[in-house]
Copies of this chain bind each other. A is one copy, B any other.
């Protein structure tokens, strides 16, 4: 085994365990076994369970952000950028389901200095989405409204970006179109709550 070549398999094994059993229920012994090491051998490479979670999250977010930058680099229109984000996210959901699960569920289990660092990286991902929506926005929405919209979009992606909705790369691609169309129409067309047509959105829903 080449030097340092253990890290990828350790992080992969950890990601699988964390995703399947949850961070606190996953055991170091199980991760060590899956990585082909003894328990003490695992501790030769990492400082502790907390650091292991950090490394998994850090690598996953790096991959996600790198993928986004790459997609964004070739996108020319604001609409293209939005679709690039959606595709990147759904692609990541398909190729790294365990990592996405950990990002969404376990990121706040980290102890404090590391938690803040991951939160910052995570935030930069949201900011990227927010910037795209700002470019796209025909209504000059406030920053708060745009942040809400960004979380609406990311919520959609996380709501659908997991089994059994994505079973293939093609699913990810076609779902990207569906999500992009659905979100974009709503985002571009609506002019605000109060201005929505009454038959669609009266203040009361018992009409």
The chain A residues found within 8 Å of chain B, CB to CB, are: 22, 24-25, 71, 74-77, 79-81, 83-84, 87, 105, 109, 145, 148-149, 151-160, 165, 174-175, 177-187, 189-190, 192-194, 196, 199-203, 205-207
Contacts and interface: CB of A to CB of B under 8 A. Distances in A.
Oligomer: number of copies: 2
Nearest to A108: B22
B183 A80 contact: no
B155 A207 contact: no
B182 A187 contact: yes
Listed residue (A83, A84, A105) with the most chain B CB atoms within 10 angstroms of its CB: A83
B177 A148 contact: no
A100 to B, nearest CB: 13
A126 to B, nearest CB: 11
B205 A193 contact: no
A77 B193 contact: no
A140 to B, nearest CB: 15
Given A22-B22, A158-B159, A181-B200, 17 more contacts: A22-B24, A71-B205, A76-B206, A77-B199, A77-B207, A83-B205, A148-B160, A148-B178, A151-B165, A155-B157, A156-B156, A174-B193, A177-B201, A181-B192, A185-B185, A185-B186, A186-B187
Contacts of A148: 160, 165, 175, 178
